[in-house]
């Protein structure tokens, strides 16, 4: 591996410039901005490394880039995505979201942490391997989609259509990084997701609010409807919502006890006085990894500018995500939500559906997990902390669990301060180079696992 690390060092400036060019290109799936151009960057990058590349596209979807290279007894699937979250609120960025800027060893840009950094460092690691070790000792199939941040809306259908491209001995997930206390991590699962927008309709146009005596106000309708979804004690009050939850296994709970706690780091970073219900330590971690959520991600109605404006809004909108755990079914959650709203007298409230994903879990003792553990130990000088699942979501169910493919995270730049999905998203460049070295070790470890 000395040659491998030396190659990274020798090419650091070029790799850095390539990363900057990649994040400078917007690719905002929710807003349909820059998707084709970004897919093309990924495609040509894979081709330049000698991969066989297919640009695959379901009707209405942005392209999935599928690239294969190397051969050997094992096949590794690498899942990443080239789309990013919307950059709003723009005014909260210290430097513009699509002008990558280095400050104090951190590179700031929308998508640099989620997921363009990891995607690029893995491509660059393969380049470094080929340049220093010759052929790859295994088959690598890159599956790189462009709709992850909108719930991978077409990926389930894609995985059915192209099932033969997905079969593999293990999958490297898009994520990878460190705990808030700086220990490297491995995650072997992901929560599911059901994202909806609730819309309450009122008068034909925003009225003078003097008419509030007699005209039903959609902002009040929405408030009252939301209030029935989750009570102030945090209980999600939709009938049946909790019915299908598979409780954590003994192995899950044992893994939990080996995870170092980081309550103080989180409280300080987020500047909050306490967690919900004053949860702490293991209890908090258990809820965090194994409980579903119902979150208001956005609210908008009427006048939202400076000062006062006296209007009765024509519409009111709430964006809501439900994070799901095994064995919850996102389609069933939508049905339960509709039935609940109807039953509570809110049949007038429209539900618009966005992404839906099932939760997924992998065997935490699978060869791909053991190989990543060994690679982490070589690259970081310490064993990883193993999480049975992320609290976050991805299309791990259709990509991995549906095929029985074990999955691991790792070889990524995550750390507590990334601010993914938020303004001033960033990575630490030292993490970038360490993750690239880890990726090299992982190729070697998984080939022989």
Stretch 237-296 residues interacting with its own copies (CB under 8 A): 266, 269-272, 275-276, 279, 284, 287-288, 291, 293-296
Among 86, 137, 180, 367, binds its own copies (CB under 8 A): 86
DSSP 8-state assignment for residue 191 = B
Cα Rg, the chain, nearest whole Å? 23
CA atoms within 13 A on the CB side of 381: 2
Instruction: Please identify which residue in 5, 11, 72, 88 interacts with its own copies, judged by CB under 8 A.
Output: 88
CB 443 within 8 A of CB 3: no
Q: Which residues contact 355 (CB under 8 A, 6 or more apart)?
A: 150, 151, 152, 153, 193, 194, 195
- Joined together, the tokens standing for residue 171 give 């999958």
The structure tokens 């380049």 sit at: 127
- Whichever of 10 and 272 has its CB closer to its own copies, that residue is 272
- Cis amide leading into 89 (omega within 30): yes
Site for its own copies, residues 61 to 80, rule: CB under 8 A: none
Site for its own copies, residues 409 to 428, rule: CB under 8 A: 419-424
Question: For the chain, what's the residue count?
Answer: 449
Nearer to its own copies, 345 or 383 (CB): 345
Contact between 220 and its own copies by CB under 8 A: the answer reads yes
Binding characters for its own copies, 328-347, by CB under 8 A (x = yes): -----------------x--
C-beta closer to its own copies: residue 222 or 259: 222
Tell me if 369 sits within 8 A of 363, measured CB to CB: yes
164 vs 213, which CB is nearer to its own copies? 213
Taking the complex as a whole, how short is the minimal distance between the CB of residue 322 and its own copies, in angstroms? 10
Gap between the Cα atoms of 330 and 357, Å rounded: 6
Residue 278's Cβ-count burial label (10 Å; 0-12, 13-18, 19+) is exposed
Is 103 an interacting residue with respect to its own copies (CB under 8 A)? no
Q: Which is nearer to its own copies, 123 or 337 (CB)?
A: 337
The pair of three-digit structure tokens given for residue 142, joined into one six-digit string: 């890159």
Contacts of 292 (CB under 8 A, 6+ apart): 191, 236, 241, 242, 245, 322, 323, 324, 325, 328
Restricting to residues 135-174, which ones interact with its own copies according to CB under 8 A?
149-151
The binder of its own copies chosen from 24, 309, 331, 448 (CB under 8 A): 309
The site string for its own copies over 17-56 (x = CB under 8 A, - otherwise) reads ------------xxx-------------------------
Q: Which is nearer to its own copies, 164 or 271 (CB)?
A: 271
- Kindly state the number of chain residues that form the binding site for its own copies, as judged by CB under 8 A: 91
Short-list 370, 374, 386, 384, CA closest to 188: 386
What is the smallest separation between the CB atom of 318 and its own copies, expressed in angstroms? 8
Out of 1, 253, 299, 402, the only residue in the binding site for its own copies (CB under 8 A) is 299
How far are the Cα atoms of 83, 151, 245, 257, 367 from residue 250, in angstroms, in the given order? 36, 30, 15, 11, 21
Structure tokens at 342: 């109807």
Q: Please, what is the minimum distance in Å from the beta carbon of residue 217 to its own copies? A: 6
Residues 351-370 that bind its own copies (CB under 8 A): 354-355
Contacting its own copies (CB under 8 A), which of 219, 359, 379, 449? 219
- Contact with its own copies (CB under 8 A) among 43, 45, 74, 317: 317
Beta strands in 96-167 (DSSP E): 101-103, 106-108, 139-145
Q: Please give the Cα distance from 266 to 284 (Å, whole number).
A: 12
Identify which range of 19-27, 127-135, 218-226, 399-407 contacts its own copies by CB under 8 A.
Answer: 218-226
CB of 262 to its own copies, least distance (A): 11
Segment contacting its own copies by CB under 8 A, of 50-58, 122-130, 158-166, 316-324: 316-324
From 9-17, 56-64, 127-135, 302-310, give the range in contact with its own copies by CB under 8 A.
302-310
In terms of CB distance, is 10 or 92 closer to its own copies?
92
């Amino acid at each position: 591996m000395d040659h491998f690390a030396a190659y990274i060092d020798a090419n650091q400036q070029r790799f850095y410039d390539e990363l900057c060019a990649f994040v400078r290109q917007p690719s905002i799936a929710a807003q349909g901005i820059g998707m084709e151009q970004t897919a093309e960057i990924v495609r040509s990058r894979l081709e330049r490394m000698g991969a066989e590349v297919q640009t695959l596209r379901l009707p209405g979807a942005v392209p999935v880039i599928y690239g294969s290279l190397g051969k050997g007894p094992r096949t590794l699937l690498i899942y990443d995505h080239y789309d990013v979250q919307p950059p709003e609120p723009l005014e909260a960025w210290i430097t513009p979201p699509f002008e990558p800027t280095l400050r104090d060893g951190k590179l700031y840009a929308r998508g640099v942490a989620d997921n363009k950094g990891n995607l690029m460092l893995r491509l660059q690691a393969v380049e470094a391997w080929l340049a220093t070790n010759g052929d790859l000792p295994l088959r690598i199939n890159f599956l790189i989609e462009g709709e992850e941040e909108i719930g991978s809306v077409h990926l389930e259908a894609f995985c059915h259509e192209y099932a033969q491209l997905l079969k593999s001995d293990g999958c490297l997930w898009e994520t990878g990084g460190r705990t808030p206390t700086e220990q490297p991590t491995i995650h072997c699962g992901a929560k599911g997701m059901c994202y909806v927008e609730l819309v309450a309709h009122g008068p034909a146009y925003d009225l003078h609010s003097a008419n509030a005596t007699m005209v039903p106000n959609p902002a009040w309708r929405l408030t009252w409807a939301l209030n029935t979804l989750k009570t102030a004690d945090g209980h999600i009050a939709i009938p049946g919502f909790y019915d299908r939850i598979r409780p954590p296994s003994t192995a899950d709970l044992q893994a939990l006890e080996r995870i170092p706690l980081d309550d103080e780091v989180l409280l300080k970073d987020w500047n909050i006085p306490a967690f919900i219900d004053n949860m702490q330590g293991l209890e908090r971690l258990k809820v965090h990894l194994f409980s579903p959520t119902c979150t208001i991600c956005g609210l908008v109605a009427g006048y939202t500018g400076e000062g006062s404006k006296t209007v009765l809004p024509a519409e009111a909108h709430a964006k809501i995500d439900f994070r799901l755990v095994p064995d919850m079914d996102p389609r069933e959650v939508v049905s339960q939500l509709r039935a609940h709203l109807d039953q509570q007298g809110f049949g007038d409230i429209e539900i618009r559906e966005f992404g839906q994903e099932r939760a997924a879990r992998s065997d935490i003792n699978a060869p791909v997990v053991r190989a990543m553990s060994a690679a982490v130990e070589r690259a970081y000088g310490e064993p990883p902390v193993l999480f049975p699942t992320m609290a976050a979501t991805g299309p791990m169910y259709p990509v991995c669990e549906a095929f029985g493919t074990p999955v691991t995270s790792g070889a990524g730049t995550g750390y507590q301060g990334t601010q993914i999905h938020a303004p001033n998203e960033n990575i630490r460049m030292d993490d970038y180079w360490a993750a690239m070295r880890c990726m090299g070790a992982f190729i070697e470890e998984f080939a022989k696992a």
